């Protein structure tokens, strides 16, 4: 048994591998007076193309509210939610269709119209503001994930480079942060040595768990029963994600081999088929897209669980995403095209189904984080998960009354289980002030904010009447 507390920075090491540990009871300080507070994490999940009008907003306000059809997948987690209404991003109300609303979603500023040579977001994104303050406390200052590769051309309809539509994280007004879209590369970034050397290079195809197993066995012998069980569960969860990534990579390679058009495109790029394991660039097949999303969300959860980072963003798709959702029952066609529903009932129903699928993936992440204990709380309790889009109705490109849901209790600083209706055109950046204050990076203002969003910690606050 360990007589002194384990450091929160304890890792399991192996050849070319470094596996951070989750929170264990052995990490508790010996004296109650030394007890620390679990860190608060922030994840942003961005959905492109807005939501189906009339099917998003819940009925009622405060604690007495009913989830809407789109939000129904979140029903098991109702008490972990804050559904926030009537927030808007004023800086995105410029008449542009998508790019201003995507590129400026987390900055609260207006991007500069450009063909690509002089990108300017107008500000630093809220996630990177937090990362600059607390990123030194973790191995990775932040983690940016997504599904679609960036497009570099100019959208001639509006005169903006498509790069704006592929990034929501900005470390400076001129520097968007590239997102990782390959699950295997994201996994390796979390758990494999960045400069493995000759021996580590030889071990790159071996399982992470196999590489650190000897170190894990040594540690296991020093832990109590509860921690041994928790360590075993954690190692199995990492192995499970690793196996799913490998399976998905093999399936994608097989898909390419069976798709002559895809194979020709890859050969034109000079890329070996065997190395081509990026699901984002392969023709969609039933179920593949959902698995790609869930792998990325699982990696975010692992990153938070091991305190590898406390700040993460995830993009379900780029602006104007044409992702084909025909794998959903009752849906035929691409996301962007369906979002331009023109008030037609058939398209509206398909739009709603696509939105509902996105919320089901959000629910999956919430469920995963609720199952992970951190002392008296859960990983979800110690986190803030922001799900949102840069516009409301995709047909109207409306930046008013944005679809925003916050899950998690921010380390006990958020009173969840409510729907809150604010005054119309309340700045979205007021919410960002509230998030930053709970991340240990306090501010009075952020972009065009007027202060912290009211009522985040008040369980009786329901917003404005009516």
Non-local CB neighbours of 247 within 8 Å, separated by 6+ positions:
none
Question: Which residues is 145 bridged to in the sheet?
Answer: 180, 314
Proportion of the chain above pLDDT 70, given as a percent:
87
Predicted confidence (pLDDT) at residue 284 exceeds the cutoff of 60: no
Non-local CB neighbours of 401 within 8 Å, separated by 6+ positions:
57, 85, 86, 87, 88, 392, 424
Give 36's pLDDT tier (boundaries 50, 70, 90). low
Q: What is the pLDDT of residues 67-89, one digit of tens each?
A: 999 999 999 999 999 999 999 99
Predicted confidence (pLDDT) at residue 35 exceeds the cutoff of 50: no
Q: What is the pLDDT of residues 49-71, one digit of tens each?
A: 999 999 999 999 999 999 999 99
Q: What is the pLDDT of residues 377-427, one digit of tens each?
A: 999 999 999 999 999 999 999 899 999 999 999 999 999 999 999 999 999
Which is higher by pLDDT, 199 or 41?
41
Report the relative pairing of strands 81-88 and 418-427 from DSSP bridges: parallel
Weakest-pLDDT range from 130-144, 160-174, 206-220, 283-297:
283-297
Quick one: pLDDT at residue 270? 40
Quick one: pLDDT at residue 327? 94
Predicted confidence (pLDDT) at residue 30 exceeds the cutoff of 50: no
Weakest-pLDDT range from 31-35, 245-249, 300-304, 343-347:
31-35
Whole-angstrom Cα distance, residue 407 to residue 416? Answer: 8
Quick one: pLDDT at residue 15? 87
Quick one: pLDDT at residue 441? 97
Quick one: pLDDT at residue 257? 58
Residue 389's Cβ-count burial label (10 Å; 0-12, 13-18, 19+) is buried
Please report, for the chain, the start and end positions of each structural domain, with discontinuous segments joined by +.
40-181+286-466, 193-277
> Residue 276: helix, strand or coil by DSSP?
coil
Is 109 in contact with 91 (CB distance < 8 Å)?
A: yes
Predicted confidence (pLDDT) at residue 255 exceeds the cutoff of 90: no
Predicted confidence (pLDDT) at residue 305 exceeds the cutoff of 70: yes
DSSP state of 284: -
Quick one: pLDDT at residue 347? 97
Quick one: pLDDT at residue 151? 85
Quick one: pLDDT at residue 282? 42
Helix (H) / strand (E) element for 155: namely strand 154-155
Mean pLDDT of the chain: 89
Quick one: pLDDT at residue 195? 55
Is 305 in contact with 22 (CB distance < 8 Å)?
A: yes
The CATH architecture that domain 40-181+286-466 belongs to is 3-Layer(aba) Sandwich (3.40)
Burial 50-82 (b: 16+ CB within 10 A, else e): bbbbebbbbeebbbebebbebbebbeebbebbb
Predicted confidence (pLDDT) at residue 120 exceeds the cutoff of 50: yes
Is 301 in contact with 369 (CB distance < 8 Å)?
A: yes
Quick one: pLDDT at residue 291? 95
Whole-angstrom Cα distance, residue 141 to residue 138? Answer: 6
Non-local CB neighbours of 38 within 8 Å, separated by 6+ positions:
23, 374, 375, 377, 382, 411
Phi then psi dihedrals of residue 335, to 5 deg: -60, -50
Diameter over CA atoms, the chain: 68
Helix (H) / strand (E) element for 60: namely strand 59-61
Whole-angstrom Cα distance, residue 109 to residue 434? Answer: 18
Please give the average per-residue pLDDT across 24-44, as a whole number: 72
Cα torsion at 448, 45, 391, 397 (round to 10°)?
Answer: 130
Quick one: pLDDT at residue 266? 43
* Residue-level length of the chain: 466
Q: How many CB atoms lie within 10 A of CB 300?
A: 25
Quick one: pLDDT at residue 261? 55
């Amino acid at each position: 048994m360990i007589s002194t507390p384990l450091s929160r920075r304890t890792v399991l090491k192996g050849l070319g591998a470094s596996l951070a540990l989750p929170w264990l009871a052995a990490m508790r300080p010996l004296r109650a007076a030394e007890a620390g507070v679990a860190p608060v994490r922030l994840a942003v999940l961005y959905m492109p193309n807005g939501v189906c009008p009339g099917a998003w907003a819940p009925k009622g306000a405060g604690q007495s509210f009913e989830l809407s059809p789109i939000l129904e997948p979140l029903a098991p987690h109702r008490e972990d939610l804050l559904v926030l209404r009537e927030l808007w991003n004023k800086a995105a109300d410029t008449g542009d269709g998508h790019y201003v609303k995507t590129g400026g979603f987390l900055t609260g500023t207006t991007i500069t119209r450009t063909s690509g040579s002089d990108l300017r977001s107008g500000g630093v994104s809220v996630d990177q503001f937090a990362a600059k303050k607390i990123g030194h406390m973790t191995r990775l200052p932040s983690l940016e994930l997504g599904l679609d590769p960036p497009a570099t051309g100019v959208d001639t309809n509006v005169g903006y480079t498509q790069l704006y539509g592929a990034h929501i994280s900005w470390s400076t007004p001129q520097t968007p942060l590239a997102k990782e879209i390959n699950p295997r590369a994201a996994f390796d970034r979390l758990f494999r040595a960045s400069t493995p050397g000759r021996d580590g290079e030889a071990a790159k195809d071996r399982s992470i768990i196999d590489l650190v197993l000897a170190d894990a066995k040594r540690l296991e012998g020093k832990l109590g029963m509860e921690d041994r069980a928790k360590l075993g569960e954690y190692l199995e969860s990492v192995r499970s994600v690793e196996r799913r990534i490998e399976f998905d990579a093999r399936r994608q390679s097989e898909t390419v081999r069976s798709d002559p058009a895809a194979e020709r495109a890859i050969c034109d790029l000079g890329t070996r088929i065997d190395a081509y394991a990026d699901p984002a660039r392969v023709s969609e097949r039933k179920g593949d897209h959902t698995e790609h999303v869930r792998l990325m969300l699982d990696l975010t959860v692992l990153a938070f669980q091991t305190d590898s980072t406390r700040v993460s963003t995830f993009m379900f798709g780029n602006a104007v995403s044409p992702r084909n959702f025909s794998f959903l029952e009752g849906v035929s066609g691409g996301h962007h095209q369906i979002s331009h529903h023109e008030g037609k009932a058939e398209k509206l129903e398909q739009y709603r189904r696509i939105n509902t699928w996105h919320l089901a993936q959000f629910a999956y992440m919430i469920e995963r984080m609720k199952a992970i204990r951190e002392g008296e709380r859960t990983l979800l309790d110690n986190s803030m998960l922001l799900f949102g889009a840069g516009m409301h109705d995709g047909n109207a490109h409306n930046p008013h009354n944005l679809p925003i849901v916050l899950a998690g209790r921010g380390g006990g600083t958020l009173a969840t289980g409510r729907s809150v209706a604010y005054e119309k055109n309340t700045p979205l950046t007021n919410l960002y002030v509230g998030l930053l204050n709970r991340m240990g990076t306090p501010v009075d203002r952020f972009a065009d904010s007027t202060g912290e969003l009211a009522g985040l910690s008040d369980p009786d606050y329901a917003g404005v009447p009516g």
